[in-house]
Structure 1
Amino acid sequence: MLNILAIIAPIYILILIGFATTRAGLFAKADMRVFGKFVINLALPALLLRALSQRQVGEIFNVGYLLAYCIGSWAVIGLGYAWCRRVGRLNPSASAFYAMGMSCSNSGFVGYPILLLTLAPVAGVSLALNMMVENLLVIPFLLFMAERKQGGAGRWQALGKALARLIRNPLILGLLAGLAVSVFGLTLPAPLTRTIDTLATACSALSLFVIGGTLVGLPMGGLGSRIVPIVVGKLVLHPLCVLLAITMLPMLGLPGIDRSLRAAAVLMAAMPMMGIYATLGQAYGQEDFSAVTLLITTIASFFTLSALLFLLGAFHALP
């Protein structure tokens, strides 16, 4: 248990430092947006570029990982959307947004730092694989589904805009650049490599600090019954579905994945939802709900991740 706390505690201490310093006025809430832009536009793309450029093509295109994580995530989306529509009696837009909260992990800001402490050799590859699934397959579809316009033309126009934004996304550009370096066997100049390494190193601590500062001032009130299913879906159902998908791969005659990447996939699925969930909520009239959900899920993940790391260690899933 002490080993688990040694892994988990630094992550949440950094989040707490971000929260406390912002709450005390040392930093303004607006500063977190600036720091967040730095992480998203520079540090994370540099991290993806470094992680992919240093790997062989076969490691990057790990079909088993991509299939398992994709199948697990889509299972959660289907179950979450169906629950919201049939049990929660929510409209399609809100249902899609709730499903997004259940299926889109905070891979870069929380997931990567935890993997760096537990599964360092595969942390970068796992992050890149997750970014492929989330940014290319899951998020654009969910944004399309969450579009409130019911007319076909409006919805297709929204999808086109989402895809156009995706192409210009610095994370996608960093991912594609790293893939190109790996596929063509290029060697980057030493000054450029050192610059990329410096930016990538800044990603972990600053991203966690931003999460903490962003949580300051979130509204709390009367949303508990709506939040609980999202929290359970993200922290419990999502990793279970990914684990089930991993288990099923050999049964379906598909390539399996090694022990480290299996553990990485399950851990990534067990992370709280992506940090921009609250920001996206503003566009769909869900700002208060998404902000509180992000806060509660982040706090609850301390306990669920601790339990998961204990179980992974007990079953020798961690190296």
Structure 2
Amino acid sequence: MTDVAGALGPLFLLILLGALLGRLKQPGGDFWPQLERLIYYLLFPAMLVATLATANVSQVPIGRLAAVLLGALLIFSVVLWRLRHRLAPDGATFTSLFQGAIRFNTYVGVAGAAALHGAPGATVAAVAVALMVPVINVLCVLCFIAAGTLGSSSLGKSLAALVRNPLILACLAGIALNLSGVGLPGWSQATVELLGRAALPLGLVAVGVALRPQALIRHDRGIWVANLVKLVVLPAMVLTLAWVAGLDPVSRDVALLFAALPTATSAYILARQLGGDSELMAALITGQTLLAMLTLPLWLRLAGG
């Protein structure tokens, strides 16, 4: 594995560049929201399709990787739900804490895996995305339903959005192209790969733009609980399970990376649309992204050592 700080440092610098651009409101207007839509609906799906359609996924221990990642997610989801009354005063607050504890920033994860292990790391990361994105989205929607923060109309919209999720559809398309043997024929491979290459640097800058430093003035107990779970407890469990499962170094590092990632910036939109505490969500996203600049390298050095 290459030097962890050297691999992750440029990614964090791009996030900080985005934070600076957001602070300066440059470029102005609706540039960043439109760019986020382009990344989410076109560029990042193109990267997933390009990776999964042409990769030798037979070398990825999919079953053991799924057991490690999904097993840890389900365990923590149950524990958080059982402790909900102790962690949050109401349902809206708990849904944001729940998202903050289990969601992950896909852009940082895939970029980090590629920076650490090149093409093999990107392949394992794409498989991890295919495994985790559908499960996490279902868990979050179920959390909103159980917490009673959305009505029947919102439920229908949430389920429809889940079915149309571009990351899920891209993973399914890439896997189908791979298994069928079709791959990406002719010029399509070079075209899709070029689109995909733009996703990660632009996605990282967009992560920085979405940060809300002013939200950090909140000092709710739940913020520290969610941060502790996301950046310390969940990575510790995943690393332990990875060692027990005997994952190879690349799969182990990617599993640990995805477990230790800060929560997704898209969680803020979901909280706002489905009745969660959006300001708390903004504080979690900002705080975890900044803290992860310290905790991620430490976890990966521990795993490599």
TM-score (norm 2): 0.89
1:143 to 141, 144, 151: 141
Change in 2 beyond 3 A, CA 1:95/1:248:
farther
1:68 aligns with 2:58: no
1:193 positional shift: 1.2
* Secondary structure in 2 matching 1:274: coil
Find the counterpart in structure 1 of residue 252 from structure 2.
262
Find the counterpart in structure 2 of residue 80 from structure 1.
80
1:125 positional shift: 2.6
Mapped partners of 1:217, 1:304: distance in 2:
19
Find the counterpart in structure 2 of residue 25 from structure 1.
25
Question: 1:258-303: CA deviations, max 9, x gaps?
Answer: 2210111011111101121111121324111100111010000011
1:95 aligns with 2:80: no
Find the counterpart in structure 1 of residue 211 from structure 2.
215
Find the counterpart in structure 2 of residue 253 from structure 1.
none
> Is the Cα contact below 8 Å between 1:94 and 1:146 reproduced in 2?
no
Provide the aligned length of Structure 1 versus Structure 2: 303
Change in 2 beyond 3 A, CA 1:307/1:164:
same
1:206 to 202, 208, 213: 202
Match of 1:303, as an amino acid?
A: L
1:245 to 229, 241, 244: 241
1:31 positional shift: 2.2
1:48 positional shift: 0.9
Match of 1:273, as an amino acid?
A: T
> Is the Cα contact below 8 Å between 2:22 and 2:209 reproduced in 1?
yes
Mapped partners of 1:98, 1:25: distance in 2:
29
Match of 1:13, as an amino acid?
A: L
> Is the Cα contact below 8 Å between 2:177 and 2:183 reproduced in 1?
yes
Match of 2:238, as an amino acid?
A: V
Mapped partners of 1:68, 1:285: distance in 2:
29
> Is the Cα contact below 8 Å between 2:92 and 2:277 reproduced in 1?
no
Q: Which runs of 4+ in 1 moved over 6 A?
A: none
1:89 positional shift: 4.7
1:37 positional shift: 0.9
Find the counterpart in structure 2 of residue 44 from structure 1.
44
1:115 to 108, 113, 116: 113
2:283 to 266, 287, 292: 292
Question: 1:112-158: CA deviations, max 9, x gaps?
Answer: 1111111223333333233233332222122122137749x956x76
Mapped partners of 1:80, 1:29: distance in 2:
39
1:186 aligns with 2:177: no
Change in 2 beyond 3 A, CA 1:120/1:57:
closer
* Secondary structure in 2 matching 1:202: helix
> Is the Cα contact below 8 Å between 1:22 and 1:216 reproduced in 2?
no
Unaligned runs of 5+ in 1: 250-255, 315-319
TM-score (norm 1): 0.86
